[in-house]
Amino acid sequence: MAGCLAGKVALVTGASRGIGRAIAKQLASDGALVAVHYGQSKTAADDTLAAIKAAGGDGFLVQGDVGEMTGIANIFRELDAALAARGIERFDILVNNAGVGVVGDVGTTSEADFDKAFAVNVKGLLFVTQQAVPRLRDGGRIINISSMVSHNAYPAFIAYAASKAAVDSITLSLAAGLGSRKITVNAVAPGATATDFIGELDDQFMGAIKSATALGEIGKAGDIASVVAFLASPAGGWVTGERIRASGGMHL
Q: What is the per-residue DSSP string for the chain?
A: --STTTT-EEEETTTTSHHHHHHHHHHHHTT-EEEEEESS-HHHHHHHHHHHHHTT-EEEEEE--TTSHHHHHHHHHHHHHHHHHTT---EEEEEE-------B-TTT--HHHHHHHHIIIIIIHHHHHHHHGGGEEEEEEEEEE--GGGGS--TTBHHHHHHHHHHHHHHHHHHHHHGGGT-EEEEEEE-SB-STTS----HHHHHHHHHTBTTSS-B-HHHHHHHHHHHHSGGGTT--S-EEEESSSBT-
| Confidence at residue 217, expressed as pLDDT on a 0 to 100 scale | 83
Is position 1 within any domain? no
In angstroms, what CA-CA distances link 65 with 41, 69, 124, 218? 11, 8, 9, 30
Q: How many domains does the chain have?
A: 1
Q: Which of 160, 170, 227, 246 is catalytic?
A: 160
Give the C-alpha separation, 19 to 197, whole Å: 9
pLDDT band at residue 136 using 50, 70 and 90 as cut-offs:
very high
Is position 177 within any domain? yes
| Confidence at residue 198, expressed as pLDDT on a 0 to 100 scale | 60
| Confidence at residue 249, expressed as pLDDT on a 0 to 100 scale | 86
Q: Which of 8-17, 56-65, 149-158, 199-208 has the lowest mean pLDDT?
A: 199-208
> What's the whole-number mean pLDDT along residues 136-149?
96
In angstroms, what CA-CA distances link 77 with 8, 39, 61, 83? 19, 14, 12, 10
Give the C-alpha separation, 191 to 152, whole Å: 11
Is position 3 within any domain? no
pLDDT tens readout for residues 43-85? 999 999 999 999 999 999 999 999 999 999 999 999 999 999 9
| Confidence at residue 201, expressed as pLDDT on a 0 to 100 scale | 55
> What's the whole-number mean pLDDT along residues 5-22?
97
Task: Judge whether 154 counts as a catalytic residue.
Answer: no
For the question of whether the overall pTM of this predicted structure is more than 0.85, the answer is yes
Is position 234 within any domain? yes
Is position 4 within any domain? no
> What's the whole-number mean pLDDT along residues 31-46?
97
- Which residues constitute the domain of residue 143? 9-245
Q: Which of 93, 118, 99 is nearest to 189 (CA)?
A: 99
Is position 118 within any domain? yes
Give the C-alpha separation, 10 to 93, whole Å: 4
pLDDT tens readout for residues 159-170? 999 999 999 999
| Confidence at residue 23, expressed as pLDDT on a 0 to 100 scale | 98
pLDDT tens readout for residues 192-248? 887 776 655 566 767 777 888 888 888 899 999 999 999 999 999 999 999 999 888
CATH at 44: 3.40.50.720
pLDDT tens readout for residues 172-189? 999 999 999 999 999 999
| Confidence at residue 97, expressed as pLDDT on a 0 to 100 scale | 98
Phi and psi (nearest 5°) for 68?
-130, 140
Is position 250 within any domain? no
